[in-house]
Amino acid sequence: MTDHLIVSDENTMRVIRLRRPEKKNAITHDMYRRMSDAIDTAQNNPDIRCIIITGGSGVFTAGNDIEDFLKDSTSNTDAPRISNAVKFLYSLAHNVKPIIAAVDGVAIGIGTTMLFHCDYVLASTTATFSTPFIHLGLVPEGASSLLMPRSMGHQRAFATLVMGRTMTADDAHLAGFVNVVVAPGHTEAEARKVAREICALPAEAVAISRKLLKLPPEDLARRIDQESHLFGERMRSNEAIAAFKAFFTRKKG
């Protein structure tokens, strides 16, 4: 079976790499679970000082696997997507290690919302950011309804989260959630440089300072729960099921 997620420790950094390029790095249940484990197991490991999340060159991620969405929305049992994706979001909310994201290409849905939990974001000039929840009949997730307006103001958050508009790398840089825009194919190398810079700083002082900047994990978890409840309801709506099916029939047309 192909490994769609690679986790490697390189000196003091843990690199989490999405590797499902044939599906634009769309995230499956298993990938969520393993990303979550990679973050959780770094928490009490003093050797890991920094985490990098990357999609490699050309694509960050097309978001949640829509086939999984469709299966979960039409199954009669509790949707496993809810538990795996939400577990990953909890891991992000409770994480205490600096996270750097390297975004080369599309960052869709959770590919964008996870960035608001990260501490430093690099994007290539070809990166785009979108949360097309509305087009899928869904609602925001990942505490994005809390973090996005806080980070870039209500109006920009509305255009992105509620209207489903796409942002370019320059838009995202201007909006403030991308630190730096680099040439395509260079995000990961640049992320490593940033990671080395952070790893060279006094670890305890970094952890305390970072905590001061972040919202308390309980606040994030509360919003994740609120959103997940609504998201779960919306996933089973006729609007959402029709949109999931339309994605795949689009391919056949």
How far apart (Å, rounded) are the C-alpha atoms in residues 72 and 64? 12
For the chain, strand residue ranges (E) read 5-10, 13-18, 50-54, 99-103, 106-108, 120-124, 128-130, 167-168, 180-182
Judged by beta carbon, residue 13 or residue 123, the one nearer ligand COA is: 123
Nearest to 54 by CA among 199, 193, 187: 187
- Residue 127: DSSP 8-state: -
Judged by beta carbon, residue 14 or residue 24, the one nearer ligand COA is: 24
- 3-state DSSP assignment of residue 49: coil
Taking the alpha carbons at both ends of the chain, their separation in whole angstroms is 30
Judged by beta carbon, residue 98 or residue 140, the one nearer ligand COA is: 140
CA distances from 235 to 7, 81, 88, 142 (A): 30, 11, 18, 15
Q: CB of 46: closest distance to ligand COA in angstroms?
A: 36
Q: What are the backbone dihedrals phi and psi of residue 53, each rounded to the nearest 5 degrees, phi first?
A: -115, 125
Among left, alpha and beta (phi > 0; psi -120 to 50; other), residue 25 is: left
Judged by beta carbon, residue 68 or residue 119, the one nearer ligand COA is: 68
State yes or no: residue 23 binds ligand COA (CB under 6 A): yes
Q: Can you give the length of the chain in residues?
A: 253
Q: CB of 88: closest distance to ligand COA in angstroms?
A: 14
Judged by beta carbon, residue 106 or residue 161, the one nearer ligand COA is: 106
Q: CB of 166: closest distance to ligand COA in angstroms?
A: 10
Q: CB of 175: closest distance to ligand COA in angstroms?
A: 19
Mark 77-116 with x for binding to ligand COA (rule: CB under 6 A) and - for no binding.
-----------------------------x-xx-------
Mark 136-175 with x for binding to ligand COA (rule: CB under 6 A) and - for no binding.
x---------------------------------------
Rule CB under 6 A: which of 170-229 touch ligand COA? none
Count, residues near ligand COA per rule CB under 6 A: 16
Judged by beta carbon, residue 72 or residue 119, the one nearer ligand COA is: 72
Two structure tokens written together for 45: 């490991």
Q: Residues in the site for ligand COA, rule: CB under 6 A?
A: 23-24, 26, 62-67, 106, 108-109, 132-133, 136, 251
